[in-house]
Chain A
Amino acid sequence: MEWQDFFKLLHVLTFVYWVGADIGVFYAARLVVNPKYSPQTRASLLKVLDWIDQIPRYMLLATFPVGATMAANLQISPITGFWLYAVWIVAIGWMWVITHLHKHHGKPKALAQADLAARALLIAALVVTGIMSINGDGPFLRDWLGWKVLLFGCAVACGFGIRIAFKPFGPAFAQLMKEGSSPPVEAAMKKALDNAVPFVIGIWVFASAAAFLGLSHERLFGS
């Protein structure tokens, strides 16, 4: 197996575990906001959900260095040599950060805020470089890669949107555990989840569109 094929397989697998694992998270979340279940059960389900959700979180971070390596091999990306190593190191470091945040329930807060800020920066970089590349101004040397970068940026932005939309869920769930179920608490949790759903679907659509381009760019763009 050639290295490029190996990275192609990895790229497919990161997509597989990103979008595929999400279906479990999506369904489990519905049970967590179901008042039919006791708070203890919902707390346990939240743990199950949170663990499964780690997989898409890792895959989102892993797919970029894998894709960047493939683009470097095709000589259509400016991220080569030292910068490519740097991308890998940052991605692995970032995975460590999200592992730490997962283990310590989002603590320390400064690290969680840094993670969010880094995502905002990444989104801006992806969207700007994607649009520039589609317009033929580089840094990526193919239209389809510009589109892929832009779509990936949109998927990461949806992930950012989930964090914002889901924020009221935490305090509402803490109140559920402390005081038990009540209509306002149930409504707050359900509202937070409902608000996050369009962003979840957005991730699936953008990531799938990026995969479609990646799989068929030669047929669709001729390169």
Chain B
Amino acid sequence: MEWQAVWIFLHVMLLVYWLGADIGVFYCSFHIRRADYSKETRLAVLKISGFINQFPLAVGIFILPVGLQLADGLGLSPIRDEWLLIPWVLAVAWFLFNLHVAKKRGSPAGQRLARIDIGIRVALILVLVVSAIWTFVAGEPWGANWIALKVLIFAYVLTCGIGIRVTYRNAGAVFGKLAALPATTPELEAEITRLTKAVKPWVLTLWAGLVVMAAVGITQPSF
């Protein structure tokens, strides 16, 4: 069995269910803010959007251990052999934690858990940025600058993810109001429009980051 082939394939499949799935979420957002739709329709579109969005959320976690496997296969990762079990265990734990956060969304406990999740992301971003810059400066821990560049861009993608979370932090309450009120109000519509518009720059720049990461992975530039 050629494991590197499997990891490359999995790495691309994760991009499929991140970038490819996300277009559906993006398109749904245009329909969610359509005040001419019935409440039932908008909530159904929200349901579709919520379902699709689970894929990018999961993929954003598992793409890192899969990438580490690939880098190890190329001999370019500082995390090798049985040590790779650690990122896998952490990724699974983080994924389960995220499921729990999603379950508790809207409650005070959920807000606290969401803040912890953002804290984990910030810590990870710091580790990724420092390790990438250190590689550019000292040639380690990553075995090639192009891997370090991918790591740096991934940190940027995670930052965009935090931007989305922070911008959308009141979305649960806003859409909850839409579901609860007998009829929509101009204030609520303004808030829905503001939210769905404010999140777009983060989403678009996140996509750009993913495409650039794919381009770096394909070209593997030496510099």
Contact = CB atoms under 8 A, between A and B. Distances in A.
Contacts of A55: 23
B48 A20 contact: no
A23 B23 contact: no
A17 B20 contact: yes
Give the dominant DSSP class at B's interface: helix
A5 B12 CA distance: 15
Give the dominant DSSP class at A's interface: helix
A192 to B, nearest CB: 19
A78 to B, nearest CB: 26
A127 B132 CA distance: 46
A2 B218 CA distance: 11
Given A17-B20, A219-B5, A23 B44 contact: no
For chain A, which range describes its interface: under 10, 10 to 19, 20 to 34, or 35 or more residues? 35 or more
A165 interface: no
Interface core residue of B19, B24, B51 (most chain A CB under 10 Å): B24
Nearest to A29: B48
Contact of B9 (A5, A19, A51, A216): A216
A215 B40 contact: no
Interface core residue of B19, B41, B215 (most chain A CB under 10 Å): B41
B203 interface: no
Contacts of B164: none
A31 B214 CA distance: 33
Interface stretch (A35-43, A93-101, A104-112, A182-190): A35-43
Contact of A23 (B21, B37, B45): B21
Given A20-B21, A21-B21, A48-B48, A41 B2 contact: no
Interface of A: 1-2, 5, 8-9, 12-13, 15-25, 27-28, 31, 37-38, 40-41, 44-45, 48, 51-52, 55, 208, 211-212, 215-216, 219-220
Interface of B: 2, 4-5, 8-9, 12-13, 15-25, 27-28, 31, 37-38, 40-41, 44-45, 47-48, 51-52, 55, 211, 214-215, 218-219
